[in-house]
Structure 1
Amino acid sequence: MVEDVVIVGAGIAGLTTALGLHRMGFRSLVLESSDSLRVTGFALVSWTNAWKALDAIAIGDFLRKQHVQLDGLVVASIISGFVTSHLQFKANRKHEGSEVRSLKRKALLEALAKDLPLGTIRFTSKVVSIEEKDNLKLLHLADGSILKTKVLVGCDGVNSIVAKWLGLEKPVLSGRWAIRGCAKYLGGHGLEPNFLLFFGNGSRTGLMPCDEKTAYWFFTWTASAEHKDIQENPTMMKQFVLSNLGKVPEALVNVIESTPLGSLVASPLKFRKPWNVLWGEIYKGNVCVAGDALHPMTPDIGQGGCAALEDGVVLARCLAEALSKDSRRESNLGVEDKEDEFNRIKKGLEKFAKERRWRSFELISTAYVVGLIQQSNGKVISFLRDNFLSSFLAGLLLKRAAYDCGKLNIS
């Protein structure tokens, strides 16, 4: 049996692509190496562009009911304790209609998966190698089975086997790490609906409510050799963060102290060199990558998950056009027809790559530069950041979120 579309990875990009295809009447198979949905990371900032993508696949309103809309971004220095910028989302004339929420990763993945036909996601299915046969791709799985597919989409994260097959360079370490946590309050946390962001002394800390009872926070810093043991020790993680917060509101300290040790995770921050996205092969024939397999980036503008949602919508639209009944015969395909189908798929993925290449370059580059400035410990850059660049950097987040990936042709 030959699958039309096989997607490797049941993360945000993979499930969005699968749901987008399903909405337009096309079947796909999603291979996930783990035995369940991967919900590490707890939450992500979902900007306006993410909600346009979620609306395109018809789950936006479902998720809105579960997450509070944030009113604004408050930026402050942990050195002085003073607010350096306060950006109102709803009242911003340049970006009217801005919608920002802290989206729980588990809720997002479950919402993406719930409308997929039974059997779309195949868990415990790890791809170990990729082989070409005629115009098909043969996927060798860890259990010894082999799948054939007309289209192969790699949504398998920063260590993507599909990206490796395409010849893309490995993502590189940024030299920074992130500790993330999530605290739940049965009686409610009482936080204002704002995105609080603090930086200084080479670190960056954020806090935002997801709903009335859940708050998400993160702490990023430039790591050194002495921090190697933190990743495996949640107690050390919490102590390290609390001892490096500086002058921050008591609310942030309370949230971190209230976070269970099991709700802490530390990881190095990686990114793909932006020129590798511009000039590298992000698609080849009937194979492409999306999500973190395409554009791993540092989290400094909160666009990693948002861009993955964009990818899924755009890719589903391009593939649906290539596989539509209007562009193929219903009868058994002959040799020439199979070649025509392959060429249509190739053109569809070329269209996807053309649309996403520059957008990915822009987001990776912006995230890296913003992170470099916000976490700089140099006197000159710190002075310029706190006194002149704070509002500009805050506005840049809304500017990068002012993007519409378009709609799907759902009948």
Structure 2
Amino acid sequence: MEDIVIVGAGIAGLATSLGLHRLGVRSVVLESADGLRASGFALGIWANGWRALDAIGLGNILREKHNKISGDDLEYRCVNRGVLLETLENELPRGTIRYSSKVVHIHSEGRVKSLHLSDATVLRTKVLIGCDGVNSVVSKFLGFSKPAYAGRTEVRGFVCFKDGHGFEPKFMQFFGEGVRFGVIPCDGCNVYWFLTFTPSSQEKEMVKDPTKVKQLVLMKFGKASDKIRRMVWGNISKGNVCVLGDALHPMTPEMGQGGCSALEDSVVLARLLAGALRRSDGDNEHRAVSEALENLARERRWRCFDLISSSYIVGFMQESDGVLVQFLRDKFMAGVVLKRACFDCGDLALEV
């Protein structure tokens, strides 16, 4: 017999249990998996979410591990889902979460609910809280209908750059031809990306097969913009070889940044390469050059992605006749162009 049982050790389940714990109330969390599930990889948390995390005592712990995304004053950070779940788990008393505890049936015994688990265990509880996702057993017990399919599909990815990704703390999104693609840095090494689209009947079948998901994602990147696709999946450098200028970031002409960005590439490369050669000797010169080119890739990747996607969007807006797009174009496009022109690539001063 338990006073409070929470089904599902996801964000809602663990945060609810921790909130109760902070107030001196014990609960038990049942999780069907044999460990924490970090599916989805990451999530964006706005100011309201941070207020809730502050309320249960986790805000500052998580802020230290995740960069604030620049932009408006409203707090926004991309949080590693696994880190969030582990932090919640670590703050709970040992034994609160019971893994490999799948609820298969719920029976009402007046004010008490009995939970029948897949291993034949039966728990009785005075309070039952369902936090077990869209296919919730608790929701089914309450008589909820199955969730309706909205017609959109999202593929998500999480990439770790062990030596750092070099992206600015910005939330970038690309829209085009029914595809929405976004990239959000979590910290200095980890990047979360997502691709949302409306699948055709054939694509729905591909999504069901994990081996075909990458093929589908690459195809969608191709539809959105081959330039974006190459920037995300391609290598800027390999060993002692790299690319600059149009070879690195071919873009439509609407931003007028092709030549300017090529000049930026040149200054950054010259600074990094000369510095590496100055610090190296004959024996480690090749390694120093490779590291310099890798640093170039990290430093320029986000800037190039920003320019390519912005140029594509500005071109789309210039050629569109819709009233709303015309309004946005007249109101904001000049600011978008000027903001990209304010970038400072630095001088040629070498680090001593």
Q: TM-score, normalised by structure 2?
A: 0.65
Give 2:219's match in structure 1, choosing from 228, 233, 240. Answer: 240
- Kindly provide the CA deviation profile for residues 104-152 of structure 1, in whole angstroms up to 9, marking residues without a partner as x: 0000000111011111000000001111112100001011110000000
Give the equivalent residue in structure 2 for 1:135: 111
Deviations 1:155-208 (A, max 9, x none): 000000111111112111111101111111122111111111111211111111
Shift of 1:386: 3.5
Mapped partners of 1:119, 1:132: distance in 2 = 26
Aligned equivalents of 1:386, 1:65: Cα separation in 2: 39
Larger Rg: 2
Q: 1:256 to 1:160 in 2, by over 3 A?
A: farther
Structure 1 counterpart of 2:152: 176
Give the structure 1 partner of residue 322 of structure 2.
383
Q: Which has the higher contact order (CA 8 A, sep 6+)?
A: 1
Query: Residue in 1 aligned with 2:94?
Result: 118
| CA spacing shift, 1:129–1:382, aligned 2, 3 Å | farther
Shift of 1:384: 4.6
CA offset digits 1:326-375 (Å, max 9, x no partner): xxxxxxxxxxxxxxxxxxxxxxxxxxxxxxxxxxxxxxxxxxxxxxxxxx
2:206 counterpart residue number: 229
- The answer to whether the 8 Å contact 1:104/1:210 transfers is yes
2:27 is matched with which residue?
28
Distance 1:159 1:99, change over 3 A: same
Return closer, same or farther for 1:150/1:113 CA change in 2, 3 Å cut-off.
same
Q: Gapped runs of 5+ residues in structure 2?
A: 236-319, 333-352
Distance 1:141 1:196, change over 3 A: same
Verify: 1:103 aligned to 2:109, yes or no: no
1:188 aligned to 2:164? yes
3-state SS of 1:175 partner:
coil
Query: Which residue does the alignment assign to 2:7?
Result: 8
Q: Give the match's secondary structure for 1:151.
A: strand
Alignment of structure 1 residues 396-411 onto 2, 5 Å: none
Deviations 1:17-72 (A, max 9, x none): 00000011111000000000010111011111110000000011000000000012
The answer to whether the Cα contact below 8 Å between 1:47 and 1:101 also exists between their aligned partners in 2 is yes
2:177–2:224 CA contact under 8 A, matched in 1: no
The alpha-carbon deviation at position 239 of structure 1 amounts to 2.0
Query: What amino acid does structure 1 have at the position aligned with 2:22?
Result: R
For residue 236 of structure 1, what is the amino acid of its counterpart? Answer: Q
Give the partner amino acid of 2:148.
V
What is the SS of the residue equivalent to 1:244? helix
Relative distance call for 1:214 and 1:386 in structure 2 (3 A) is: farther
Matches within 5 A, 1:367-382: none
RMSD: 2.4
Give the letter for the 1:229 counterpart: M
Q: Is 1:188–1:213's contact at 8 Å kept on the other side of the alignment?
A: yes
Q: Deviations over 1:365-394 (max 9, x none)?
A: xxxxxxxxxxxxxxxx993554446999xx
Give the letter aligned to residue 174 of structure 1: A
Report if aligned partners of 2:176, 2:224 keep a CA contact under 8 Å in 1.
no
What residue number does 1:64 align with?
63
The one-letter code of the counterpart of 1:136 is V
Q: TM-score, normalised by structure 1?
A: 0.56
Distance change in 2, residues 1:248/1:207 (3 Å): farther
Spell out the pairing of 1:185-264 with structure 2 (5 A cutoff). 185-227=161-203, 228-230=205-207, 231-233=209-211, 234-246=213-225, 253-256=230-233
Figure out how many residues of one structure are paired with residues of the other and give that number: 246
Percent of pairs with identical residues: 47
- Listed as ranges, the gaps of 5+ residues in structure 1 are 73-88, 91-97, 259-380, 393-411
Amino acid at match of 2:220: V
Aligned partners of 2:219, 2:226: CA distance in 1, in Å? 15
Are the counterparts in 2 of residues 181 and 256 from structure 1 also a CA contact under 8 Å? no
Say if 1:192 and 1:120 are closer, same or farther in 2 by CA, change over 3 A: same
Match of 1:283 in 2: none
Cα 1:257–1:27 change in 2 (3 A) is farther
Which segment is superposed worse, 234-243 or 160-169?
234-243
CA drift at 1:240: 2.2
Q: Distance in 2 between matches of 1:71 and 1:194?
A: 6
